[in-house]
Amino acid sequence: MFVDLDELYLSEELQQMRWVIRRFVEAEIVPNGEAWEELGTMPREVWRKMGELGILGMSFPEEFGGTNMGPLASLILSEELARSTFGGVMAGITVHTDMSASHIVRHGSDAMKAKYLPEIVAGEKVCAVAVTEPDAGSDVAGMKTTARREGDHYVLNGSKMFITNGVYGDLYMLAARTDSSAKGSRGISLFVLEKGMPGFTVGKTLKKTGWLSSDTALLYLDDVKVPVENLIGEENKGFYYIMEGFELERICIGGQCVGQSEKAIELTMEWLKSRKAFGKTLWDMQNIKLDMAALVAELAAAKQLAYHTAHLDAQGKDASMSACMVKSHLPELMNRILYKCVQFHGGMGYMRETAVERISRDARLLPIGGGATEVMLLELAKKM
């Protein structure tokens, strides 16, 4: 039913890794996901199991325990985690692997990599990325958190909002202004903060509509002293590092949308072919067939875009415009697909006991998180 792009884009090693992830999802996540939604997070031992299987290190250098498989590995990881139907688990893991620790891989010093990456790859330390603020979401340049250099430390003050893994995480890739006189995107730097640093606190756990198995936090920084060696890359280059990281983040979101959409369609097709109304199955009704066929065709085209974008990035080519297209189009398509899937399930589509209902709740965040659709389209327009 769905277009298979594996042989076209993936090496044999990546294809094998997909099945490792899929078996892990079926054995560990699917049976336990509902309990983790009640818990509000994923247990630590599950992170360690993923570390042992190599799932957390696919994008990391081999010298630190990774396998250096690149952005296509990140794409299939997102896709397979999404097929679990538990978006919170998917979010927590991909934030750890591809949206936070990846900053250390790209721009961290050798000492920083040696200090942090082995435990990150092993699942011993959980990572978060802290960029969004109460008054600065998609507008990264509007952030107000500050970092003032004092001798061999920076002193950080401010707050961060909507931080995935913010409650139970250990390491935070946090952005702050190091040059208060600089305007807009200039004067922002990235730091590694560790849980337990004096003055660094979780304000509260935020209650969300979806992604219930991932923790989301409001963070406060009150004169937090961060060693100079915890600066990622160069001072005042943080905004550019964040923008660079967004390319991979958008590829991952594309994978998330593909995985959740395909799973929702599979579940809906099973329902349509078994549910009877007016003397026949729902699948016997022509209008339903046409709607589902159109969505499958549109998803196939969008999936090709996501894979091609990851392929461009893997080849070291500029994939920024293509990544904007992925982020602006796939989440919106996913929500249209889920609207129909819920609709065709009838009353059961609105019940918490159905996976389609859960996916529909989780889907609503993706046109917002990682850069709102409208911002993506504006960014795309600038490149036209």
Query: Annotated catalytic sites, by residue?
Result: 249
CA dist 347 and 260 (Å) reads 21
Torsions phi, psi for 340 (to 5 deg): -70, -40
Distance CA 55, CA 48 (A): 10
Cα 5 to chain centroid, rounded: 21
**Number of Cβ within a 10 Å radius of residue 292:** 20
Q: How far apart are CA 212 and CA 216, in angstroms?
A: 9
Please count the CA atoms within 13 angstroms of the CA of 57 that sit on its side-chain side: 24
CA nearest 248: which of 118, 72, 369? 72
Does residue 191 contact residue 231 with C-beta atoms inside 8 Å? yes
What is d(CA 272, CA 343) in angstroms, rounded to the nearest whole number?
11
What backbone torsions phi and psi does residue 221 show, to the nearest 5 degrees?
Answer: -125, 115
d(CA 365, CA 380): 20
**What one-letter code names the amino acid at 78?**
S
If you write DSSP's letter for every residue of 139-191 in order, what string do you get?
Answer: -GGG---EEEEETTEEEEEEEEEEEETTTT-SEEEEEEES-TTS-TTTTEEEE
Residue 365: Cβ within 10 Å count = 18
Residue whose entry in the numeric block shows the structure tokens 């081999």: 62
Residue 155 forms beta bridges with which residues? 148, 225
Paired with 108 in beta bridges are: none
Q: How many angstroms separate the CA atoms of 332 and 348, rounded? A: 23
Residue 198 burial class via C-beta count within 10 angstroms: exposed 0-12, middle 13-18, buried 19 and up? exposed
